[in-house]
Amino acid sequence: MRVAAAVLGALGGLGGAGPAWAQDLRLPGLTLTWPRTPGQASAALEILAALTLLALAPAIVLLLTCFTRIVVVLSLLRHALGLPQVPPTQVVVGLALFLTVFVMAPVGQAIHREALAPYLAERLTAAEALERGWAPLRQWLLAHTREAELRLMLELARAPRPTRPADVPAQALVPAFVLSELRTAFQLAVVLFVPFLVIDLVVAAVLMSMGMLLLPPVMVSLPLKLLLFVLADGWTLVARALVAGYAR
């Protein structure tokens, strides 16, 4: 309460003692110094933007990369095998993360070459670097976004139909890309479920015809599904299909 009162008192003093940016805020054991020149204010805003970007990094990885499709497919694959907890979630997320890094490496290199490196060399301003860095990522997102989802988001936003890729607004492109990724992930999951579902149906029919009603079909079908998955080198095939889906 004393700290809150001190903050309110300091703010009240700032309100009646000239420009707010020219005053310092003093609290017990804490002193906040306000920027006194436009250059200091600009640097402070850049630091704030960088910290905000770091805080949003998980959301950026989830929504602006191929991580969503990969982790959804790998998670549904566990359920298709009948092992919802194996491999552990940490392993699935880790594999999805490294596959994401592998797929997104060319885009990251383009962003570093065109935006980050010139900005660190002080050849670009922060705004210019942001615009140049967004360009290769926008191109990649457009290449893997379905037209139907993008049209839907543009209609919901009541935005005019863009005439060129640079005119596509980010607030419509990002959710359209996520919807496209979810749709593709569930389509791949259906393909993965079909052979294992056939095994479950065959095992259940055989056990029922033999009168073994008390034997759970999963006890027989699970080893068969694992055997089929291992013989077909399933993990390699799934990883190949996921990565190849972005090779265009």
Write the pLDDT tens digit of every residue in 18-34: 444 344 445 455 454 55
In this prediction, residue 201 carries a pLDDT of: 83
Rounded Cα gap, residues 242 and 98, in angstroms? 12
Q: What is the pLDDT along the chain (248 residues), one digit of tens a residue?
A: 443 344 334 434 434 444 443 444 454 554 545 555 555 555 666 677 777 777 777 777 778 888 889 999 988 888 888 887 888 889 888 888 888 888 888 888 888 888 788 877 778 777 787 788 888 888 888 888 888 888 888 888 787 787 777 777 878 888 889 899 999 889 888 888 888 888 888 888 887 777 777 767 677 778 888 888 888 888 888 888 888 888 76
Write down the pTM of the prediction. 0.71
Domain-embedded: residue 3? no
Q: How many domains does the structure of the chain reveal?
A: 1
Give residue 108's identity as a one-letter amino acid code.
Answer: G
- Cα 247 to Cα 65, 99, 102, 104, 176: the distances in Å are 14, 13, 11, 11, 20
Domain-embedded: residue 25? no
Domain-embedded: residue 16? no
User: What six digits make up the tokens of 51?
Assistant: 């910290």
The neighbour count for residue 100, using CB atoms within 10 Å, is: 21
- R_g of the chain computed on alpha carbons: 27
Domain-embedded: residue 6? no
Beta-carbon contacts of residue 61 (< 8 Å; ≥ 6 apart): 67, 97, 100
Domain-embedded: residue 126? yes
With H, G, I as helix, E, B as strand and everything else as coil, classify residue 66: coil
Tell me the per-residue pLDDT of 182-231, one tens digit each, with 9 for 90 and over: 998 898 888 888 888 888 888 888 877 777 777 676 777 788 888 888 88
Supply the range of the domain harboring residue 191: 65-244
Domain-embedded: residue 218? yes
Domain-embedded: residue 88? yes
Domain-embedded: residue 24? no
> Residues 181, 204: contact at Cβ < 8 Å?
no
